[in-house]
Amino acid sequence: MKRKIYSLLSVSLSLAVLLHAQSPSRLRTDLVRNTDQVYQNGIPVNETLVNATQKKELYQFAKIYSQQPVFNWELDATIKKMTACQILVASSIQLLAADKADYWDSKKTATQVSRIVYAGKTLQTGKTYYWKVKSWSGNDVSGTYSKASSFYLAAADTADKFSHHPLTAEIQQPVSISKKENGSYFIDFGKDGFSQIILHLTSNTSDSIWIEAAEALESPGNIQRIPGNIRYSKRGLYVEKGTHDYKLVWPADVKRNARNPVLMPAYIGEVFPFRYIVLSNFSGELNKKSVERKMVFYPFDNAASSFHSSDSVLNKVWDLCKYSIKATSFSGYYVDGDRERLPYEADALINQLSHYSVDAEYSIARRSMDYVIYHPTWPTEWSLQNVLLAWNDFLYTGDDGFLKKYYTELQKKILMPLAGSSGLISTKAKKQADDFLESIHMVKDFDGKHGLKDNVDWPQKGAYIGNEKEYGGETDGFVYTDYNAVINAFYYRTLILMNRIAVTLGKKEDAAFYQTKSKELYQSYQSTFSDPKTGLIKDGDTTHHSSLHANFFALAFGLVPADNVSTVIKFIKTRKMACSVYGSQFLLDALYDAGEDQYALELMTATTQRSWYNMIRVGSTITMEAWDKVYKPNLDLNHAWGSAPANIIVRKLMGVEPTSPGSETIRIKPQLGGLQYADLTTTTLKGLVSVSCKRSNTEYSMTVFVPGATVAEVCLAINPEKKKITVDGKPAKVIPENGFYIFPGISSGTHTFKLQ
């Protein structure tokens, strides 16, 4: 009898666990997570959203602008396939708790994606709404409802079109405080950060003290005091005798503010990037609670990603680049660091890919994408990058809202009016008429410049060469001609993507047009830039010089004929890192896509002057604007366009990329190079993905975790010496393809692949 009771109890518990597992989690409204979290001056507080909305002068919370928000959620890995969902949206938590909806009951809606657009009664701005969702699994078993989530629908804002979080902050204490011989205190917060200083001081006298904040050291224990792009500030503060609290107020940067930067909101106030503080003329003793900093950033989930491998340099590079994304998000936009605090297309593209890789956050990218469309910068190919940004957004979110909203703007950003009879585009053919420039929102900038100019890489000029590069500047001696190989490589890529965008939006005629144009351009590109004598890509139409840039951009965008790929790769390897931190993004993409994972790994783990390790060696904790000060004397230490390894490690080295919009299907294709082991977690819109690879003399094993209702294609690198293949302990037969064993249709959950 007891055995029957225990058996029934076990069945009941198993059923309860199954039903609980089928309860959706991590709900998002309009791609924004934690929409019910309330903040006060950036600090999370325990206050209900509905109460906070009645006290907007005190609290901050996410603003949802869309009248038809997109709802997303994650499913447990026990759910291999979702067949339907039901969403309830109500005006009160009481109604929702009773499974009632006065605004929208979607009923049981057939769908295989955990994403649905609101289709209920018209939502009213200034109101708080509540929603929850449940799903049906592949065998049509209903799960339980998720926990409720709430969101506030804000009135439309012409200056801020996309739903987003407020800025957040955390109070941080120093990692060390030391008293110097002159009585001053040296304080180290461990990492650079855009922050404010908060003091809790007990002074023996009433007097003025000096506070110096700096990003860098001149020598151990001595801060760098030269004002410039590497930040330093000295401020005086009058302190009263006894115990008091103080907040140092940073002044506005007048020069920067004259250039119309992204401003800090009033609820946060001005911030300054610093790691170190020197406090002098203070009559009292300090501890770690005496001097704190309030570091400001866009909401960031540190647990969303992790990486560790057998290479200690690569691990440090990952940490540097991941932290850079968090630290430089302080304005709520992808900006160029602290110098101008302006979004640039090229910065935004690398920021976007790296942000998606280290944290599944999409709203800051959308705000930045909107900004750069209407505030373009002068480099020709950066205009073209608007299309790359838009396609990445769709691929990672599955939401075509941005594509629909900006389709006509994207058509203008591909610069087709600059095309000549060959189909190639040129900024030197006297086609930059005022109406063309107005169509792409190009106006005179703060230096009085007007119009597009080919960039290739930056800075274009520079005197210092050293033993790691042949030419000055960061363009590898690129020869600028009327028709530029790099510009037209980007143009080709935008035509390919505009075809996909038009297909997505059901614009068949446009799709056919862009497909035809891309094929024509491919032929023109080959006849103009491919050098039949060398097999390399020439810089331009009237030169025989071949730079690193002309070749890796062509390789990255599919413009190198198959017969010439090995020649181009051999040439690329002779140039080493003869590009900037910006160019390295496309160089590494090209190498991994061509199967050159070992050389790409060597570049990422290099300890030369032109390397990410050099940034760490010189004391930066955020990626720098350039490889070293000798190559760009006015560089800054807080530029996330140097963060390429953050996304390259995820997308290429560990090979986790979406293969359909919204990561409904993903590819897991590790290319480890010489690594003995590597472990990664990254988060998609569907949930956590993990990959763990380990190789020994007898075995190569890979364990992956695929999130709920997601299908993966897993690729296992072929080793000719190991031919026994097992999947989850069972023998498997697969056909080799381009150096990999391909396993399609891998379902949610944990799976282990072994090659012995």
Choose one of 278, 297, 316: the last residue of a domain: 297
Residue 127 sits in the same domain as residue 265: no
pLDDT for the residue numbered 445: 60
Residues 521 and 637 in one domain: yes
Residues 202 and 127 occupy one common structural domain: no
- Classify residue 158: in a domain, yes or no: no
Task: Indicate whether 180 belongs to any domain.
Answer: yes
Residues 146 and 218 in one domain: no
- CATH number for the domain that contains residue 532: 1.50.10.10
Residue 671: domain span: 665-755
Same structural domain, 391 and 428: yes
On whether the CB atoms of residues 353 and 385 are closer than 8 A, the answer is no
What is the three-state SS of 575-594? HCCCCCCCHHHHHHHHHHHC
Does some domain include residue 718? yes
Tell me: do 238 and 357 sit in the same domain.
no
The answer to whether residue 19 scores a pLDDT higher than 70 is no
Element (DSSP H or E) covering residue 13: helix 2-21
Residue 427 lies in a domain: yes
Q: What is the CATH number of the domain that holds 748?
A: 2.60.420.10
- Whose tokens are 């996309």? That residue is 162
Q: Supply the pLDDT for residue 463.
A: 80
CATH of the domain at 52: 2.60.40.10
Residues 569 and 707 in one domain: no
Q: Considering the domain boundaries, does residue 346 fall inside one?
A: yes
Residue 451 sits in the same domain as residue 577:
yes
* Residue 274's CATH number: 2.60.120.260
Instruction: Tell me which of 438-452, 507-521, 672-686, 705-719 is least confident.
Output: 438-452
C-alpha closest to that of 353 among 652, 687, 31: 652
- C-beta separation of 398 from 113 below 8 A: yes
Domain boundary among 297, 319, 354: 297
- Asked if residue 748 lies in contact with residue 706, where contact means CB atoms within 8 angstroms, the answer is yes
**Co-location of 189 and 101 in the same domain:** no
Q: Which of 599, 619, 653 is the last residue of a domain?
A: 653
Q: Is 161 domain-assigned? A: no
- Does residue 659 sit within a domain? no
Which of the four pLDDT bands, split at 50, 70 and 90, describes residue 257?
A: confident
pLDDT at 6 over 60: no
Which tens digits make up the pLDDT trace of 448-459?
A: 567 999 999 999
> What value does the mean pLDDT take over residues 321-338?
97
How many whole angstroms separate alpha carbon 396 and alpha carbon 359?
A: 12
For residue 658, is it within any domain?
no
Count of domains observed in the chain: 4
| Per-residue model confidence (pLDDT) at position 22 | 75
Same domain, 344 and 465: yes
Q: Is the pLDDT of residue 16 over 80?
A: no
Question: pLDDT per residue over 271-311, tens digit each?
Answer: 999 999 999 999 999 999 999 999 999 999 999 999 999 99
**515-532 mean pLDDT:** 98
For residue 181, the model assigns a pLDDT of 86
349 and 214 share one domain: no
Whole-prediction pTM: 0.95
Each residue's pLDDT tens digit, 47-87? 999 999 999 999 999 999 999 999 999 999 999 999 999 99
What integer is the mean pLDDT of 645-657? 98
Residue in 250, 236, 299 with CA at minimum distance from that of residue 31: 299
pLDDT range class, residue 431, cuts 50, 70, 90: confident
Distances (CA, A) of 317 to 53, 373, 395, 579, 607: 42, 32, 26, 18, 11
- Regarding predicted confidence, which is higher, 22 or 247? 247
110 and 84 within one domain:
yes
